[in-house]
Chains A and B, each alone.
Chain A
C-alpha cells in the first residue's frame, strides 16, 4: 500500500501511536533527520533520540557488513526494554526509520505487530533533499520564506558567545 502525502501519512502515524499505546513515535530518515514526531513524552529530546537511533541502525548495518553476513531482506527491528518503558526502532522502505517509545505497561506483541506494518508500508512523503525545494513535507509548504536575502545576511555573531559552555 502506498500512502501519498504528509497529511495522510501523519493521520496513520497518529493511529499507529494509539494502537501501539506508545507515548511518542518519531519518523526520520536513515541519517537521523527528524521528519515528524507524533505524541510526546516529558524530557524526551526528539532530535537527540532520532540521531542516536539512526546511528544504532547504521551500527547494525556495519556489523552485518564487517561480519560478511549480508543484509537482511526482512525489516530489522530493535527492541530495548527498561523499567520505565520500551523503545522499538526499525528501518522501513525508502530508508524511512521509525522509533516508538512505549510506557512499561504497553502490550509489546501488539506494538510490534503495528510497528512492522509501519515498516512494510510504502510512504510517499517528502524526504529531505538538497536540491528539491519543491517537495513540501507539509501542506502549504510551497510558501517558502519570501526573503531569503534576509536569511543570507544573518550574522552568527548575534548568537555566538565566544565563551565556553
Chain B
C-alpha cells in the first residue's frame, strides 16, 4: 500500500490469481464495464489469439474520496499458464490482496490446487507475511452443468472457512463485485490493524 500524503492518495494493488482459463481476465473486464469511465483507467489486456493472457491485464479504479484520501485501486491479473511462473511472481510483488479465481470444472481441480500451492510458494518467496494477508477465493463458472460441489472445491484447496469464498459466473458479471468488495474490505481491515500495531508503544526491554 502506497500513501501519498501530498496528493492525498492511497494506492493499493489487488492481483487476480488462478489457473489458466479460470476467468481472471473476465473478472477484470467485468469490473471495467461496471465502473464509470471517469472512475477508471483504460483496460490493458494482452491476450494471445487463444484468449490466453500473455503477461498481465491491468486497470486502475478510483473509489472517490474516502476518509480524506482518494484510494486508487490497481487491479492486475497474472497469466495462468504454467510456463509463466516467473511473470506471476513479478506481478504478485507488492500485492496488498489476492483474489484467487478457481475453476469449478471437475476436470480443472488439479490445476486449481497446483495454482493455489504456487500462490503461497510465491508469497513466501516474496517475503509477504501470510498471517492476515488478504486472500479471497472465487469459485467461478458455477453455471457449468457439471460444476464440482463447493465442499469438494473447498476441501481440495483446504479453504474450509479460512478465507472468504464467493460463487461466481464472471462471464455474466455474477459474483464479480462481491468478490472485489470482500478483497477491498479485507485489505483495508489489514491496513487498520497494521496501523494499530504500529501506533502501540513498544515494550521496553
By a beta-carbon cutoff of 8 Å, the part of chain A in contact with chain B is 29-33, 35, 45, 47-48, 51-52, 54-55, 58-59, 61-62, 65, 95, 126-131, 133-134, 136-141, 143-165
B interface, over-half SS: mixed
Residues of B within 8 A of A35 (CB): 2
With A33-B13, A55-B46, A152-B185 in contact, is A128–B87 under 8 Å at CB? no
Q: How far is the CA of A9 from the CA of B119 in the complex (A)?
A: 33
Residues of B within 8 A of A136 (CB): 3
By a beta-carbon cutoff of 8 Å, the part of chain B in contact with chain A is 1-6, 10-11, 13, 32-37, 39, 41-42, 44, 46, 54-56, 58, 60-61, 63-64, 66-69, 71, 74, 76, 84, 86-87, 90-96, 128-129, 133, 173, 177, 180-181, 184-185, 188-189, 191-192, 194-195, 198
Chain B nearest Cβ from A9, distance in angstroms = 14
Do residues B39 and A159 form an inter-chain contact, with CB atoms below 8 A?
yes
Residues of B within 8 A of A129 (CB): 94
With A128-B11, A154-B66 in contact, is A145–B90 under 8 Å at CB? no
Do residues B60 and A31 form an inter-chain contact, with CB atoms below 8 A?
no
Do residues B4 and A163 form an inter-chain contact, with CB atoms below 8 A?
no
- Which residue of chain B has its CB nearest to the CB of A132? B1
With A58-B87, A165-B32 in contact, is A128–B2 under 8 Å at CB? yes
Residues of B within 8 A of A47 (CB): 41, 58, 60, 74
With A45-B42, A156-B181, A161-B36 in contact, is A150–B194 under 8 Å at CB? no
Do residues B67 and A148 form an inter-chain contact, with CB atoms below 8 A?
yes
With A33-B13, A128-B1 in contact, is A133–B198 under 8 Å at CB? yes
Instruction: Pick the residue among B35, B68, B71, B94 that contacts A29 (CB under 8 A).
Output: B94
Instruction: Pick the residue among A55, A133, A141 that contacts B194 (CB under 8 A).
Output: A133
Q: How far is the CA of A114 from the CA of B42 in the complex (A)?
A: 31
Knowing that A48-B41, A140-B5, A159-B61 are A-B contacts, what are 13 other residue pairs whose CB atoms are under 8 Å apart, sorted by A's residue number?
A: A33-B94, A55-B54, A58-B55, A58-B87, A128-B11, A130-B1, A137-B4, A141-B3, A145-B67, A145-B69, A147-B67, A156-B180, A159-B64
Chain A nearest Cβ from B32, distance in angstroms = 7
The 9 closest A-B pairs by CB, nearest first: A128-B94, A148-B192, A55-B55, A147-B67, A51-B58, A151-B188, A152-B188, A150-B67, A145-B67
Residues of A within 8 A of B55 (CB): 54-55, 58-59
Residues of A within 8 A of B33 (CB): 163-165
Residues of A within 8 A of B4 (CB): 137-138, 141
Q: How far is the CA of A127 from the CA of B13 in the complex (A)?
A: 12
Residues of B within 8 A of A131 (CB): 128-129, 133, 194
